[in-house]
Structure 1
């Protein structure tokens, strides 16, 4: 039996699902792209190749093992992208929530069923069909649950809008004792520099009281100000439009003082070290071309 527990984003990690880049399939066609950044690289002939992405994920895996984390991997599906484990499910407290993801990606969830089978079935939840929610939009933060959403009336026209108002309501009902705070995110089908695909593309808590934030990722200034007031402006590292594009807010915490970050994030990594964090740098620039990075590749199961 696997006793899952995740109360926040940064407590010491004991068990995690890490996606895989093996058997990743051919470069998608332009019309198959789920997001503007992948589209940009498909059209520019710079879409990442499998061998490079496997190397990057191996480097991440090695860091997780260095900190004695139990790492589960999905079962391999032929010619299928299984890198972004965060999208397909998430844990809040001791509940595993299966995400209602884009229908094309349902098989990714089946590939981790062998892990879900180790969890008490009473603790595994599948939301009803009208509920759209993905793990990249959901952040447990102690008494809070932060959720990214898109409130535009044109929600259904956006492949990049992944969590709807029904998703927010579902989490509120499931966790009545938590303060559920939703954030209305900026979406773009065409310009990756103006598309916050998930909440973790423009915000992520780190440590005990710090965070990385991109102000223009929020449609409402009040949502941005909520986080500034909660964390304190001096505790937030503000990233630029280009840094958001390269996914600087999508690092991953192994502990309150250990952050895995991309090796090219010079300004961020310097700030993290200056702020007292141990920074484990890995190469992840190829994977980032699919509009996902370190947090997107992980599904934490047990934190202290």
Structure 2
């Protein structure tokens, strides 16, 4: 049996589901795009090729092997995008929560049933139908749970709005002893530079007391200020609009002092190193074209 344990984003990782780019299928049609960044690259003819994405994911896998992390991969679905394991489920403490994702992505959950089958079934939860919540919006920080949402009255018009207030309240009820704080995120269907698809597109903790943040990703300045007060301004690396677009905040921590990052994130990687982190740089720029990066590709199961 898998003894799940995830309480934050940075403790020593022991087991993880890593998505796969194999058998990814053809470039989607314009009307099939789930997010404005994919749309941009489909239009421009620069949508990533399967072989390049497979190579990037194997570079990520190699880092996990280097640090003795147990890696699970989804079963392959023919002609299907299975890169973003973070969307389909997430773990809080020892509870495995299946996301109510876009309906045509249900198959992705079936593709990891060989993993779910190793978990005590009383610890596997499927929220009720009205609850929308995806793992990219759920950020654990010990006794805090940060959740990205969208409070606009036009929520249902945004395919980029992935977590609703029902989702926030569901987590509050499930974890009454945690401080659950929601953040209202900026959404756009057409401009990827103004679309925080998930909370991890504009904020992520690193180490024990630091974080990466994009101020303009929050609809309310008070939400941004909340994090500045909690972490301390001097502990936050502020990214700019173009850096948010390239997903600088979507790195992934293997331990409190080891961060996997994209090799082109020079300004961030230098800051991390100057703060004592080991930075494992890998190529991930092709996968980034689908508005997802390193954190999005992982579903952590066990951290120390």
For this structure pair, what is the TM-score category when the shorter chain's length is used for normalisation?
over 0.9
Matches of 2:202 and 2:140 in 1, distance apart? 16
Deviations 1:166-199 (A, max 9, x none): 0000000000000000000000000000000000
Structural mapping, 1:105-124, within 5 Å: 105-124=105-124
Tell me the TM-score normalized by structure 1. Answer: 1.00
Please state how far the C-alpha of 1:78 moved relative to its aligned partner.
Answer: 0.2
Residue 202 (str. 1) matches residue 228 (str. 2): no
List alignment gaps of at least 5 residues for structure 1: none
Deviations 1:190-233 (A, max 9, x none): 00000000000000000000000000000000000000000000
Counterpart of 1:204 in 2: which secondary structure? strand
Counterpart of 1:96 in 2: which secondary structure? strand
Please state how far the C-alpha of 1:39 moved relative to its aligned partner.
Answer: 0.1
Residue of structure 2 equivalent to 1:157: 157
Residue of structure 1 equivalent to 2:268: 268
Tell me the TM-score normalized by structure 2. Answer: 1.00
Counterpart of 2:268 in 1: which secondary structure? helix
Counterpart of 2:60 in 1: which secondary structure? helix
Matches of 1:127 and 1:79 in 2, distance apart? 28
Residue of structure 1 equivalent to 2:289: 289
Residue of structure 1 equivalent to 2:192: 192
Structural mapping, 1:248-267, within 5 Å: 248-267=248-267
Matches of 2:254 and 2:97 in 1, distance apart? 21
Matches of 2:200 and 2:112 in 1, distance apart? 22
User: How large is the Cα RMSD of the aligned pairs?
Assistant: 0.3
Counterpart of 2:21 in 1: which secondary structure? coil
Residue of structure 1 equivalent to 2:132: 132
Residue of structure 2 equivalent to 1:80: 80
Please state how far the C-alpha of 1:291 moved relative to its aligned partner.
Answer: 0.1
Counterpart of 1:42 in 2: which secondary structure? helix
Please state how far the C-alpha of 1:140 moved relative to its aligned partner.
Answer: 1.3
Structural mapping, 1:88-107, within 5 Å: 88-107=88-107
